[in-house]
């Protein structure tokens, strides 16, 4: 195989095509004469090491889904944790399918590019639409999370504006969180924010430690009377489990940032296992302590005024503040490219501000965190993490031949994804409508 230089694009660089860690110049390398020979990788002279890529990918996968894990178990019962393990394995496998799709064409830099390679312009637009809607709704859930937990930390806070309008409680803190986040949405180079978001890993560990502390301090475990299995709540549980592993949209960017991207599947396995352990421990502890009384965010169950509650909430607030700008960067960049405004500092400020203000407004009128997360997981995350990777992989490699066993496995995964998408979306929408 001849070496050839690759490029992520020409002209003005877009944040969509910037890796989290600068990869430097990349060239192709040869591979053994096996199935991987059809998936040409490239190796960067400089770029992210294995350990740094593990950090980046774990940051991308881990997130606010950890807060809803005890609630997810309360909806489906203890036996639903077996489905959590299945969801984790499925999402790991579909992540490797995205890696194989990227190796099919070294010009691929984003998730929509994978859709374009498989299904042309229509595939690119479809993947992009679902990806942007998912990112937008997760951004809203970040702000809802901030409002809920700050309101618990500082109950009764009120601010009067212009002598005629009063902001209080969750709405006040959603607006304040938006004001703090706003300057980060104006940055073009978000590389530093990727390092800041590493604090999210510390925050997740601190949250788990706080639950252990709460378990020791609580007079009794209410989870003793919990359910073993609740069939009616399984769709909600599955949707929330898929939220925990969403992050496939940024896999191409992280893949491109590696020195040796042939090790991406190892990085993905390490990150998936690490996040699964954290999710699982949080789920078991939260449900054991609070049982069926656990709320959609387990931090809301922690007693007010306790030191471990303050630590848990403070750590919980770090993730959204650090990751919001990274999350909406693909949205703002797509708007810039759509209207040929890339490179304009004024346009970036205006677009970033508009997107943030719109999410603040939506977070203020849609304050049901658990139901929103369930909808995101059931519909949008399932599309991005299950259906799109499987369909794109089948389309790209159909001509080269795929083993029957793998085709059967993919068909089974597609059926599972379709079931979760239909039942989970229906259940979550009914719950959301019922709150009005």
Task: Output the tens digit of pLDDT for each of the chain's 436 residues.
Answer: 444 444 334 444 444 444 444 444 444 443 333 443 444 444 444 556 777 777 767 766 776 678 889 999 999 999 999 999 999 999 999 999 999 998 888 888 888 899 999 999 999 999 988 888 888 888 888 888 888 878 877 887 788 776 667 777 788 888 888 888 888 788 765 555 556 556 667 777 787 788 788 777 766 565 556 678 888 888 888 888 888 887 787 788 778 777 777 788 888 888 888 889 888 988 988 888 888 888 877 878 888 778 888 888 787 777 777 678 777 877 888 888 788 776 677 888 888 899 999 999 888 876 566 666 667 767 777 888 889 999 999 999 988 888 999 999 999 999 988 888 888 777 777 776 776 6
CA atoms within 13 A of residue 166's CA, in its CB half-sphere: 5
Largest CA distance in the chain: 74
- Evaluate whether the domain defined by 41-434 bears CATH number 1.20.1740.10: yes
The residues spanned by each domain of the chain are: 41-434
Tracing tokens 């390092």 back to the chain, one arrives at 195
Tell the burial category of 219 from Cβ atoms under 10 Å away from its Cβ (0-12, 13-18, 19+).
exposed
Question: Which residues are bridge partners to 158 per DSSP?
Answer: 168
Round to whole Å and give the CA distance between 42 and 317: 38
pTM confidence score: 0.74
Tracing tokens 């809301």 back to the chain, one arrives at 300
DSSP-derived pairing of the beta strands 42-44 and 158-161: unpaired
What burial letters (b/e) apply to 17-44, b meaning 16+ CB within 10 Å?
A: bbbbbebeebebeebeeeeeeebbbbeb
What element of type H or E holds 167? strand 165-168
Question: Which residues are bridge partners to 42 per DSSP?
Answer: 28
What element of type H or E holds 42? strand 42-44
Count, residues in the chain: 436
């Amino acid at each position: 195989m001849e070496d050839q230089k690759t490029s992520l694009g020409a002209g003005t660089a877009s944040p969509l095509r910037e890796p989290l860690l600068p990869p430097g110049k990349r060239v192709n390398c040869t591979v053994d004469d096996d199935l991987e020979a059809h998936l040409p990788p490239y190796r960067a002279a400089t770029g992210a090491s294995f350990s740094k890529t593990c950090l980046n990918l774990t940051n991308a996968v881990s997130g606010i889904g950890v807060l809803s894990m005890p609630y997810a178990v309360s909806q489906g019962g203890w036996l639903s944790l077996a489905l959590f393990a299945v969801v984790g394995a499925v999402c790991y496998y579909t992540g490797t399918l995205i890696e194989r799709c990227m190796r099919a064409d070294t010009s691929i830099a984003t998730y929509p590019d994978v859709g374009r390679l498989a299904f042309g312009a229509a595939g690119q637009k479809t993947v992009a639409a679902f990806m942007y809607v998912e990112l937008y709704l997760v951004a809203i859930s970040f702000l809802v999370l901030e409002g809920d937990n700050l309101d618990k930390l500082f109950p009764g806070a009120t601010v009067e504006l212009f002598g005629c309008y009063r902001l209080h409680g969750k709405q006040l803190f959603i607006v304040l969180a938006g004001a703090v986040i706003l300057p980060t949405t104006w940055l073009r180079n978000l590389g530093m924010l990727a390092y800041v978001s590493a604090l999210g890993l510390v925050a997740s560990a601190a949250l788990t430690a706080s639950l252990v502390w709460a378990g020791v301090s609580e007079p009794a475990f209410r989870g003793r009377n919990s359910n073993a299995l609740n069939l009616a709540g399984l769709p909600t549980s599955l949707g929330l489990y898929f939220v925990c592993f969403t992050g496939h949209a940024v896999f191409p960017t992280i893949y491109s940032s590696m020195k040796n991207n042939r090790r991406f599947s190892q990085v993905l396995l390490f990150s998936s296992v690490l996040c699964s352990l954290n999710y699982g421990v949080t789920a078991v502890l939260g449900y054991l302590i609070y049982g069926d009384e656990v709320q959609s965010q387990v931090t809301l169950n922690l007693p007010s005024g306790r030191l471990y509650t303050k630590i848990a909430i403070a750590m919980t607030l770090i993730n959204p503040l650090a990751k919001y700008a990274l999350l909406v960067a693909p949205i703002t960049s797509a708007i810039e490219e759509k209207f040929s405004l890339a490179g304009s500092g004024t346009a970036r400020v205006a677009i970033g501000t508009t997107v943030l203000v719109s999410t603040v407004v939506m977070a203020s009128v849609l304050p049901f965190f658990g139901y929103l997360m369930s909808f995101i997981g059931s519909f949008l995350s399932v599309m991005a993490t299950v259906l799109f990777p499987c369909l794109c992989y089948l389309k790209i490699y159909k001509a080269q031949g795929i083993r029957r066993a793998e085709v059967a496995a993919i068909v089974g995964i597609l059926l599972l994804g379709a079931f979760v998408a239909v039942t989970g979306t229906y259940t979550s929408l009914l719950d959301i409508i019922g709150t009005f």
